[in-house]
Amino acid sequence: MKALYISIFLVLFLVSSLYLPNTFAQDYTQWHLPDGAKARLGKGFMRAAQYSPDGTQLAVASHIGIWLYDVSSGQALKLIPTAASSVAFSTGGSVLASGSSEGTVHLWSATTGEELRTLIGHTGKISSVSFSPAGLILASGSEDGTVRLWNASTGEHLRTLTGHKSGVSSLSFNPDGSMLVSGGLDGTVRSWDVATGEELRILTEKPRILGEGSPAGITSVTFSLDGTAVAAGDLYGLIRVWDVATAERKVLFTGHKLRIAGISFSPDSSVLATGSWDGAIRLWDAATGEEQRELLGHRGSIYSVSFSQDGLTLASSSEDGTVRLWSATTGEERRTLAEGHTGPVYSVSFSPDDLTLASGDLGRAVHLWDVATRQQRTLTGHWDPVASVSFSPDGRVLASGSFDESIRLWDVATGEELRTFKKQNLSKFRKYIYGVSFSPDGSILASAIAGGSVRLWDVETGEIQQTLIKHWDTATSVSFSPDGSMLASSSLHGTVRLWDVATGEHLRVLPKSSEQVIGIEPPAGVLSVSFSPDGSVVAGGSTEGLIRLWDVETGEEQRALIAGTSHVSEVSFSPDGSILASGSLDRTVRLWDVATGVLQETFTGHTRGIFSVAFTSDGRTLASGSQDGTILLWDVAHVIPELGQPAEDLNGDGVVNIQDLVLVVANFGETAENDADVNGDGVVNIQDLVRVAAVFGKFAAAVGE
């Protein structure tokens, strides 16, 4: 018997190893989840990145927290859950400082993630934080135009430096900590005596835009590590280097086309690295201004660049949601960290079998997430943000609509681009694609377009079947009736219209009722529209914070639901039609009883507004995509009473784990009625073990019967 159990456990180990995701790669999806959530996909809209003093770790500030990465392995080590706009390591590397959009500065233990103290005093977003070289003083720069100096140990406020006429964008100490430079959006670089707070001089010559009188704002500043020079980049892509002793400009660097968002000297001060919103990183000879090489690979604006302590590696963070490590000598990309979303997640959609979640975002990419393993693939081809994604009914094809005016069809299995739909645009106005949706039989693709038109495309040929023109403003969303005979479309003018799909005939306009809301002018736009699964109701979410439900047959409004304090970006019915989910820019996800209009649940946890929501086909899970650059998967099975406990969760604790595997092993070979007989074939055997192992680690609400 002992040998039998050993054999079974060996089989258990081997089977589970086939299905269990890489623990180190996947654990982050479970870190610091809000109540009601069971997983987080993506690591948030990445901003600044900085090496630890010993070069072994990288701290990355994002909209959901500070991520700490092991540089050698590329694995995420820790998440400190605080929305951070800037981050800095202390000299010894034991403390992290972060700045917030609320004007507070936080100090954290880099080892435990524990908050040590909060520094209050600024009245605007903290754009930069920096420790003095000795680690005794912390400087913070704010959009309120001030620089504050703090005792790094006690948090005591030492002094406030004033002089900038607008926001302070960047700070840097000289090597001995006696001087601080600050860059401001007023176009000045100012140097300060740290001991006294006295302003020493203004280094910049206030560069002006040709033909205009306003200075080009300074966006990034840094001291060279030998202390002899200060470099600064501005809004228009220029970089200047000044001699600290004489305040004379030494070099002018040109080549970038847009805002300089990151700047860093190599440890020997011979090379200057710059990152720009034009998506390029450039390495320059710091003495001559000659460009040495250009590093390309990011798919969006560069937010920060930072040399490692040995000068051999350069880290960069980007709008494309990644942090990349480059060889500073060859320009070769060594590693990509934090792959995921580039910024706001505009659209989410589950495949019909619930195995894949597709998402589109600001960074021009389509992401395909394996729901079980949380791993993702990225489909690239669009050159503007992806506003909408939709699976074909058989799940084999994904459609994506973009602000680049195109719709692309992708093979879900291979990631290959199958076809691009794009009508020649003779207008000077961009025809952004805001919504795409397949018909129930998969033969037609509907698209909602800026300018007010809706197009119906033949999926097989790529030809336009119908162009529906009645909306007076941008069409925002489209939804087919379950039988495919009707299409609902919404617009920023506040209307929802119903169309006959076969003929293109306009059937009915559903009353916008925006005139009933006092003070709203122009009409409140409808951002999202959705048919109920039985086709009897259409729901629309609006910019006035309301959800309206209309009777399809009569066109009458059934009820209006107050769904938050801001725009309702998307509405989605549960598969059985009993629940309506809404996502709002007020950062809430709400679940409503469709029959009564009663609010059933409110989920909070995103740090920015929510743009998209989608149910799985079994109704157990709801995905929400947010402006914070993440997708949260919410457990919603309890809201639909008919959904029972999944068979794989044998002990009913809400998660499929080792206890459930042990119960299968303990009942191995039993033929009587037994809960461990997961597949119901009359015997507890290896098939039951495989089924439980396949969903190991998943919350019960995510597992289908």
pLDDT band at 6 (very low <50, low <70, confident <90, very high): very low
- 415, with CB counted inside 10 A (0-12, 13-18, 19+), is middle
**Residues β-bridged to residue 347:** 360
Lowest model confidence (mean pLDDT) among 86-95, 301-310, 333-342? 333-342
Q: At what angle do helices 686-694 and 2-19 cross, to 10 degrees?
A: 40
CA–CA separation, 233 and 139 (whole Å): 20
497's CB contacts (< 8 A; 6+ apart) are 468, 470, 471, 488, 489, 490, 491, 506, 507, 508, 509, 510
- 34, with CB counted inside 10 A (0-12, 13-18, 19+), is middle
Lowest model confidence (mean pLDDT) among 105-109, 481-485, 499-503, 670-674? 670-674
Residue 204 confidence (pLDDT) = 76
CA–CA separation, 82 and 679 (whole Å): 44
| Chain position carrying tokens 């159990």 | 5
Kindly report, residue by residue over 475-504, the tens digit of the pLDDT. Answer: 999 999 999 999 999 998 888 999 999 999
> Measured at the alpha carbon of residue 271, what is the angle toward residues 265 and 273, in degrees to the nearest 5?
60
591: tokens are 């679940």
Strand, helix or coil at 592? strand
Residue 602 confidence (pLDDT) = 97
What is the DSSP secondary structure assignment for residue 28, as one 8-state letter? Answer: G
Kindly report, residue by residue over 311-344, the tens digit of the pLDDT. Answer: 999 999 887 778 899 999 999 999 887 666 556 8
Residue 119 near residue 126 (C-beta atoms within 8 A):
no
What is the DSSP secondary structure assignment for residue 655, as one 8-state letter? Answer: B
672: tokens are 């009587």
Indicate the length of the chain as a whole number: 705
Strand runs (DSSP E) across 474-551, as ranges?
Answer: 475-480, 486-491, 496-500, 506-510, 526-531, 537-542, 546-551
Pairing status of strand 631-635 against strand 621-626:
antiparallel
| Chain position carrying tokens 């009587």 | 672
Strand, helix or coil at 217? coil
Q: What's the N-to-C CA distance of the chain in angstroms?
A: 32
Please report, as a single letter, which amino acid is at residue 527: L
Structural domains present in the chain: 2-14+647-702 (1.10.1330.10), 43-337 (2.130.10.10), 345-639 (2.130.10.10)
Kindly report, residue by residue over 563-574, the tens digit of the pLDDT. Answer: 988 999 999 999
Q: What is the DSSP string of 169-193?
A: EEEEE-TTSSEEEEEETTS-EEEEE
**Average pLDDT of the residues in 298-306:** 88
CA–CA separation, 105 and 171 (whole Å): 14
466: tokens are 């119908």
More confident position, 700 or 321: 321
More confident position, 624 or 685: 624
Residue 662 confidence (pLDDT) = 83
Lowest model confidence (mean pLDDT) among 9-23, 395-409, 433-447, 578-592? 9-23
Rg (CA), the chain: 28
Please report, as a single letter, which amino acid is at residue 390: S
Backbone region of residue 494 per phi and psi (left: phi > 0; alpha: psi in -120 to 50; beta: other values) = left
Residue 108 near residue 98 (C-beta atoms within 8 A):
yes
pLDDT band at 537 (very low <50, low <70, confident <90, very high): very high
Pairing status of strand 453-458 against strand 444-449:
antiparallel
113: tokens are 């993630």
Write the secondary structure of 88-109 as one string of H (helix), E (strand) and C (coil).
EECCCCCEEEEECCCCCEEEEE
CA quadruple 567, 568, 570, 576: dihedral, nearest 10: 180
What is the DSSP secondary structure assignment for residue 29, as one 8-state letter? Answer: G
Residue 702 has pLDDT above 80, yes or no: no
**Residues β-bridged to residue 500:** 486
CA quadruple 649, 655, 658, 659: dihedral, nearest 10: -60
More confident position, 438 or 654: 438
Residue 175 preceded by cis peptide, ω within 30: no
Residue 549 near residue 529 (C-beta atoms within 8 A):
no
Q: What is the pTM of this model?
A: 0.83
Kindly report, residue by residue over 439-474, the tens digit of the pLDDT. Answer: 999 999 999 998 889 999 999 999 999 999 888 889
Task: Give me the half-sphere count of Cα atoms (radius 13 Å) on the Cβ side of residue 174.
Answer: 19
- Its sign, for the CA torsion 664, 670, 675, 677, is positive
Kindly report, residue by residue over 187-206, the tens digit of the pLDDT. Answer: 999 999 999 999 999 987 65
> Measured at the alpha carbon of residue 628, what is the angle toward residues 622 and 634, in degrees to the nearest 5?
15
CA quadruple 444, 450, 451, 452: dihedral, nearest 10: 50
Kindly report, residue by residue over 215-236, the tens digit of the pLDDT. Answer: 689 999 999 999 999 999 999 9
Task: Give me the half-sphere count of Cα atoms (radius 13 Å) on the Cβ side of residue 274.
Answer: 35
Helices (H), 374-448: none
Residue 476 confidence (pLDDT) = 94
| Chain position carrying tokens 């406030």 | 160
Residue 688 confidence (pLDDT) = 78
